[in-house]
Chains A and B, each alone.
Chain A
Amino acid sequence: MLDLRRFLADHAAAVWKLPDGLSNRHDLTALQHELDARSEYPVLFAPGVAPLNGSRAAIPVVTNLTASRELTARALGLKDHRGTAAWFAARTAVGIDPLVLPRGEAPVQEIVRERDADLTSLPVLTQHELEPGPYLTAAHATTYDPDTGVDNTAIQRCWVQGPRRMTFFPYPTSHNARNMRKFWARGEPCPVAFWIGHHPAVLLGSQAKLRYPESHWRAAGGVLGEPLRLVPSLTHGERIMVPADAEIVIEGFVPANELTADGPFGEYTGYLGPQTQAPVFDVSCISLRREAIYHDYGSGLTDMLVPDNMAMEGKLYELIKSVAPSLLNVHVPASGRRFHAYLQLRDPARGEARDALTAALAYRRVKTVIAVDEDVDIFSADSMLWALATRVQWSRDGIVIDGLSGSNLDPSLPEGANTASKLGVDATLPPPPRPGVPRAVPPYATVPQANRERARALVAAAGAGAVHWPRI
């Protein structure tokens, strides 16, 4: 049975157990910024972070859980993180049905607090400057469509404002927002359960990009490789199931049409999203595992970008492959936040690269897409820039499309714009003039393979002396 504890135990060498005394304000996020700047991605385990109510620290914090593509891929059972796109598309398409446990057998319901439920007993972090207070950042909000009963899960930020109240900000176009508006249209509060902390495979599966309405439990099981264990929530029963092996569940209701200020908040763009209005959430119950662990995502950092970007790679792979069979792989780099996508194609037919680019640009907030051939490493910024430098004439190979769906959090959007201007770049080489002859492009400057292998051996033998060689 896979859960957060099993993952931490299996990858103990990648976990940095931090000293006591770190504050719940900014300290852990500062560490994540420092580590991101160094391109080092240990999981951070902080046992001594005080809860909001100032009592003795009893619940440790785990963050930076998914900052590393390599470690996250290993959590999925993949040897190479570069194979995520096709793998994720396949596993979420097939899925595995969940397994429902009866109440009383679910670890996440070992401890139940109802009248004494208190959000401030959790070590919720205040991450960045100008944020108004502590936010749950890894709370997976599960709601359901009142018309069909189909549930939906998505991560949404929550500003903890008191022991039993927090904000809840489902993005207006999100599936959870749709469900909420349906309840409000009936004059009813929207039932919600938030679950926090699980194995990274479950976290990724829960971020699969699905239709509306469509439950995430099968997709999560597909990614996990086994049925996801679920249990009926205590407040909402079988209408809202929660993962039985999650660490913490917070249950309650979103009152109809009650809005309050929320934000500013550090977003995936790396900038602060502005203060806006958001619904409020009233707690009815908090349940936890014994010795629960509180999971936090570093907002706007690789920790948060990696899982969603990997899920985007799977979705883009599925979308593009249907129109461009030559698609080999997709990379949504953390450097581009969620706005960039790199497509790798094998011998595309004339027009196929542009078909692939157009399909990718249609997807949500993706704003710049670059298509390259198989000889370009889409996981290397240097390799991508080389392709742009040597394979593109902008007036011929750039496709600009205005008016596609974008993100209101994009700082480059003109004020008041509701759509974005997007760019596709065909950085592939022209196909051969006819089958069986070389492309009409110059060959690379290379050395014989034998000389290259001898050079490799010489470099390896340089040993300790190589430590002091300049790196730039």
Chain B
Amino acid sequence: MPTLLRDTVGASWEKRGNAIWSQCPACRTWFPVSVVLTRPEAPDACCPACQQRFSLRPAPNAL
């Protein structure tokens, strides 16, 4: 599963960043992604550096 990096959860009066970072499994480049790409129906992400396509969708639950 590709790595996703987002800020920690905290109190409402503490500043938190809203960016989600993904790391390309091929060339290890980090780039910002929208939460939209983590939804089940989303297309594959595309590394802006090497153009490798990879999924950020959640794995289907095993029965």
Contacts and interface: CB of A to CB of B under 8 A. Distances in A.
Interface of A: 130-133, 259-261, 263-264, 272-277, 411-417
B4 to A, nearest CB: 12
A411 B19 contact: yes
B26 interface: no
A357 B18 CA distance: 28
A274 B5 CA distance: 13
Given A411-B18, A411-B19, 11 more contacts: A130-B32, A261-B53, A275-B22, A275-B46, A277-B37, A277-B42, A277-B43, A414-B16, A415-B6, A416-B35, A417-B18
Contacts of B42: 259, 277
Given A275-B48, A414-B18, A415-B7, A259 B32 contact: no
B27 interface: no
Given A277-B37, A411-B17, A411-B19, A272 B46 contact: no
B51 A132 contact: yes
Top 4 closest pairs, chain A to chain B, by CB = A132-B48, A276-B34, A274-B32, A261-B46
Given A130-B31, A132-B51, A275 B45 contact: yes
Contacts of A261: 37, 43-46, 53
A89 to B, nearest CB: 34
Contact of B32 (A275, A413, A415, A417): A275
7 contacts: A131-B48, A264-B31, A264-B32, A277-B42, A411-B17, A415-B18, A417-B18
Contacts of A260: 43, 46
A133 B51 CA distance: 9
A416 B19 CA distance: 10
Interface in B10-27: 16-20, 22
The listed residue with most A CB atoms (<10 A of its CB), out of B20, B31, B49, is B31
Contact of B34 (A275, A413, A414): A275
A259 B19 contact: no
Interface of B: 6-7, 16-20, 22, 29, 31-37, 42-49, 51, 53
B32 A277 contact: no
B24 to A, nearest CB: 11
Main secondary structure of the interface of B (DSSP, over half): loop
A276 B37 contact: yes
Contacts of B35: 415-416
B31 to A, nearest CB: 5
A133 B43 CA distance: 18
The listed residue with most A CB atoms (<10 A of its CB), out of B17, B46, B49, is B46
A413 B37 CA distance: 19
Contacts of A413: 18
A384 B34 CA distance: 36
Contacts of A412: 18
Contacts of B51: 132
The listed residue with most B CB atoms (<10 A of its CB), out of A131, A273, A277, A416, is A277
B18 A132 contact: no
The listed residue with most B CB atoms (<10 A of its CB), out of A259, A274, A414, A416, is A274
A259 to B, nearest CB: 5
B36 A276 contact: yes
A260 B51 CA distance: 13
A259 B43 CA distance: 6
Contacts of B29: 130
A274 B33 contact: yes
Contacts of A272: 32
Contacts of A274: 19-20, 32-34
The listed residue with most A CB atoms (<10 A of its CB), out of B6, B33, B47, is B33
Contacts of B43: 259-261, 277
A415 B10 CA distance: 12
Contacts of B49: 130
A222 B53 CA distance: 46
A273 B6 CA distance: 15
Contact of A275 (B6, B17, B18, B33): B33
A261 B32 CA distance: 12
A264 B19 contact: no
A181 to B, nearest CB: 15
Contacts of B22: 275
Contacts of B46: 132, 260-261, 275
Contacts of B45: 261, 275
The listed residue with most A CB atoms (<10 A of its CB), out of B7, B16, B43, B45, is B43
A417 B16 CA distance: 12
A273 B32 CA distance: 8
Given A259-B43, A264-B32, A277-B42, A415 B37 contact: no
